[in-house]
Structure 1
């Protein structure tokens, strides 16, 4: 419990700083949106390029772990997508909600947690999970969202519009650029690497402060709708992942344990950034992040107890 609290506490401090900054008037009414734009267009792309360009893909390629972790996050994403689309009849809103229910905070929380529990060997599964979440899951959500926003056109025109939108989206293009650089084998110029590192390091703090700024606004409703998404994130996703990791693939202990813990993490800031950027249900995404982070204290502690820590 103490280990989990030490990792989660800084998240609440940064959210609180944003909240107090807005409430006291130190930050203006447009600060949340402007800070989020910085994250979407500069911070997150730099982080994605840096991570993908500097990854050792032969070492990170663990197909059974990838399959187990992906089954959990994609399974919950699709389940939530159909569930929310049936309720709202809006594919765009359902896409953001689905991402909120499946987007684990693998970067800010997963990496330090795995390092704390498993030592240096824990970095590898945490990095693999982070790449799946920020590259595969995020791209899938954007594709579904763009499809929903461009509904009503002919299938071919919709496809062309979605492809064009994805090609212009920095959160989709940046990991592809990083992958291309990685496969080229060319060394990253030191000044470029330093710029990417500095921008990437600002991503999580800025996103959390932006979330606090948003929560300081007057919020209406959303509380009841958030709880099913929180339950899907904290209970259903780790259950699916554990089934595949321990029963289907029978992964080595470290990889199976890491898969369970990483899937049980609360929702990261990605869904809020996407919802704010597209102006689609940011209030609900913000509540899911906050409530799942609180609930994660209990579910992560339960997972650690079951794993014998």
Structure 2
């Protein structure tokens, strides 16, 4: 659990720094918008490219990748159905809740958790690969479609997909990995700088967004936040466990690892999507905070139930 507390402590510290910068006037709260645009257009695409370019995709293909993909996709589908037909959320808020229910903070929390709890960061690699290569670009494309503000045509949707920086960074990064091309350091170095800026910029913008806010403001989104949090921390790891054990016959440490990685907290990218579509800000922020805080009891419970005997 020291890895959990350490990872959470770093995240909370940078979020708090963002809030302090805004509350003291050193950086105005309005700075969150250009920060979010910077992350979307440069930081996150660079991170996606580096992740896929450096991954051995052939080695990651198999049961862990299938479990990561199936559990996340089913969790997304469950919230989408609940959001649209039970909670009656708008399409934009449904998308944000869907993202909050399925997209994990795999890189920033998943890596140290996998390293110190499971003994190797390789356990989180399939989650990162699925998210960076498929889920994240798909959700941001959907966000771009919703951000149009009117019913898009096939042509306009195609144009938006073609302009999406995450999609192209995933395609190019995957191509570099598959072909084995070695890029010169002169090319890699600036991409590393941009990719390294993605997470801190998102966290600082996240902290800035809380300046002047009162906890009561989240009450209107409390039900949706609770549902998204429950799907992320309870339903998705259960789906991961069932899929790994009964569909692929996993057991022991492999079963424990795939279940644990299915229950990682929500990534801050959900907040970035809320910025893109102009709705659901409280839902995104509430889900990120709730899942990040509750990950400690959640992981303890998973370890107690699934980790016995591994």
Scaled by the length of structure 2, the TM-score of the pair is 0.90
Q: In structure 2, what is the equivalent of residue 85 of structure 1?
A: 84
2:19 maps to which residue?
A: 19
Separation of aligned partners in 1, 2:57 and 2:108: 21
Please state how far the C-alpha of 1:170 moved relative to its aligned partner: 1.3
The alignment partner of 1:290 has SS state of helix
CA distance in structure 2 between the aligned counterparts of 1:46 and 1:297, rounded to whole angstroms: 30
- Equivalent residue number for residue 255 of structure 1: 254
* Cα displacement (A) at 1:148: 4.4
Residue of structure 1 aligned with 2:153, choices 145, 151, 158: 158
Unpaired stretches in structure 2, ≥5 consecutive residues:
none
**Aligned residue in 2 for 1:274:** 273
**Between Structure 1 and Structure 2, how many residues are aligned?**
303
Task: Indicate the residue corresponding to 1:298 in structure 2.
Answer: 297
**1:42 maps to what in 2?**
42
Q: 1:117-170: CA deviations, max 9, x gaps?
A: 233xx32231111121233222332344445456875xxx63322221121111
> Residues 91 and 144 of structure 1 are in contact (CA less than 8 Å); yes or no, is this contact kept in structure 2?
no
Maintained 8 Å contact 1:93/1:145: no
CA distance in 1, matches of 2:56, 2:100: 29
C-alpha displacement at 1:287, in angstroms? 0.9
Structure 2 CA distance, aligned partners of 1:253 and 1:171? 36
**Residues 209-248 of structure 1 aligned to structure 2 (within 5 Å):** 209-218=204-213, 220-221=217-218, 222-248=221-247
8 Å CA contact retained: 1:147, 1:158: no
Secondary structure class of the residue paired with 1:215 = coil
Question: Counterparts of 1:205 and 1:301 in 2: how far apart (Å)?
Answer: 27
CA RMSD, 1 decimal: 2.0
Task: Give, in angstroms, the shift of residue 89 of structure 1.
Answer: 5.7
2:125 alignment partner, one of 111, 119, 127? 127
Question: Do the aligned partners of 1:4 and 1:301 also contact (CA within 8 Å) in 2?
Answer: no
Counterpart for residue 201 of structure 1: 196
**Measured at CA, do residues 129 and 51 of structure 1 come closer, stay the same or move farther in structure 2, by a change above 3 Å?**
same
Measure, in 1, the Cα distance between the counterparts of 2:14 and 2:61: 34
Alpha-carbon separation, structure 2, partners of 1:6 and 1:89? 35
Unmatched tracts of structure 1, length 5 or more: none
1:18-47 Cα shifts (integer Å, max 9, x gaps): 111111111113111111111111111111
SS in 2 for 1:48: helix
Distance (whole Å) between structure 2 residues aligned to residue 278 and residue 152 of structure 1: 12
- Partners of 1:92 and 1:146 within 8 A in 2: no
Match of 2:99 in 1: 99
Aligned to 2:65: 66
> How is 1:158-197 mapped onto 2 (pairs within 5 angstroms)?
158-197=153-192
Q: What secondary structure does 2:191 align onto?
A: helix
> Following the alignment from structure 1 to structure 2, what is the Cα–Cα distance between the partners of residues 229 and 251?
27
